[in-house]
Amino acid sequence: MEHPHLPHPQGADAAGQVPEAVRHPPWLLWAAAGLALAMAIVALVGWTIDRGHVFGFDRSIMRAMRHAGNTALPIGPAWLEGLMIDITTLGGGTALTLVVVLTAGFLAVRRLWITAALVVAATALGSLAVDLAKLIVARPRPQVIDHLVEVSSMSFPSGHSANSAIVYLTIATLLAQVVDTRGARNFILVAAGLLVVAIGCSRVYLGVHWPTDVLAGWSFGTFWALGWWALGAWIRIKRSTG
């Protein structure tokens, strides 16, 4: 069994029948709602940006990341810049690809084929959706403060924020369902959430993303992960109930 904490045959009664609430859960509906909401958030904010709307807090927050009068000097102690660069690397394509490959490989070795396939599909399709949104909206990178790292793609939505949410939150929910204690599950979920938040904040600190890019990326990635998680639950329940 792939996930002992999900509704599945372990919840069957003594006669081997799966309870009605388990046979007909709204997992597919939640999956569709999560994926639709993820796309809607990006589409709405992207449409607003495409029509030339400027969010005032974008510039204010970015200017707050630098010392007054010097757009090249980041705020905070000297080591903070290096830390932010290290954190932002955890949301890059190379790091996330390695995490997905290693996770999918581990799941395959454990013969958890459905979960492995869902991890690969969710992350690959999510990344493609983010790239497509970047091409459609074509929002230039912010030039309010100096960039502390090199970037080449469009700005909206933040790929680091969206893809890290997709990858780390999906994996966290999987891990949370195979540990025995509530404390361990909470730690895994909170740690993943904090990592995703840190990666998004690093993009603004480094000057390469507007805050709205990051907010849209977080929202998209979170609801995308939840949508695929619900879809996975629906698939497993369908398989367990025949």
- Which residue is it, tokens 């100096």? 146
Asked whether residue 103 is assigned to any structural domain, the reply reads yes
Asked whether residue 61 is assigned to any structural domain, the reply reads no
What per-residue confidence (pLDDT) applies to 8? 46
What per-residue confidence (pLDDT) applies to 236? 76
Asked whether residue 30 is assigned to any structural domain, the reply reads yes
Give the Cβ contact number of residue 224 at 10 Å. 29
Domain of residue 157, residue span: 26-51+98-241
> What value does the mean pLDDT take over residues 167-189?
85
Any alpha helices (H) in the chain, and if so which ranges? 20-23, 27-50, 56-63, 78-89, 93-109, 113-137, 159-176, 182-205, 211-241
Closest among 164, 160, 169, 158 to 215, alpha carbons compared:
158
> What value does the mean pLDDT take over residues 36-58?
76
Asked whether residue 74 is assigned to any structural domain, the reply reads no
Asked whether residue 18 is assigned to any structural domain, the reply reads no
Asked whether residue 70 is assigned to any structural domain, the reply reads no
Query: Is the confidence at residue 14, as pLDDT, over 60?
Result: no
> What value does the mean pLDDT take over residues 216-241?
84
Asked whether residue 65 is assigned to any structural domain, the reply reads no
6: phi then psi, degrees, rounded to nearest 5 = -90, 155
Is 209 one of the catalytic residues?
Answer: yes
What per-residue confidence (pLDDT) applies to 242? 64
pLDDT band at 28 (very low <50, low <70, confident <90, very high): low
- The pLDDT tens digits for 74-106 are 999 999 999 999 999 999 999 999 999 999 999
Give me the number of domains the chain comprises: 1
Cα–Cα distance measured from residue 231 to residue 71, given in angstroms and rounded to the nearest whole number: 45
- Residue 182: both structure tokens together: 């509530």
What's the start-to-end Cα distance of the chain, in Å? 15
Active-site residue (options: 3, 53, 147, 160) = 160
Cα–Cα distance measured from residue 200 to residue 191, given in angstroms and rounded to the nearest whole number: 14
- 225: β partners: none
Q: Which of 28-32, 125-129, 155-159, 180-184 has the lowest mean pLDDT?
A: 28-32
Total residue count of the chain as it appears in this document: 242
Q: Which of 38-42, 116-120, 183-187 has the lowest mean pLDDT?
A: 38-42
Torsion angle (degrees, nearest 10) of CA 2, 24, 126, 116: 10
What per-residue confidence (pLDDT) applies to 27? 66
Is 8 one of the catalytic residues?
Answer: no
Asked whether residue 39 is assigned to any structural domain, the reply reads yes
What per-residue confidence (pLDDT) applies to 2? 53
What per-residue confidence (pLDDT) applies to 20? 39
pTM, rounded to two decimals: 0.82
57 burial via Cβ count (<10 Å: 0-12, 13-18, 19+): exposed
What per-residue confidence (pLDDT) applies to 94? 97
What per-residue confidence (pLDDT) applies to 185? 87
Percent of the chain whose pLDDT exceeds 90: 51
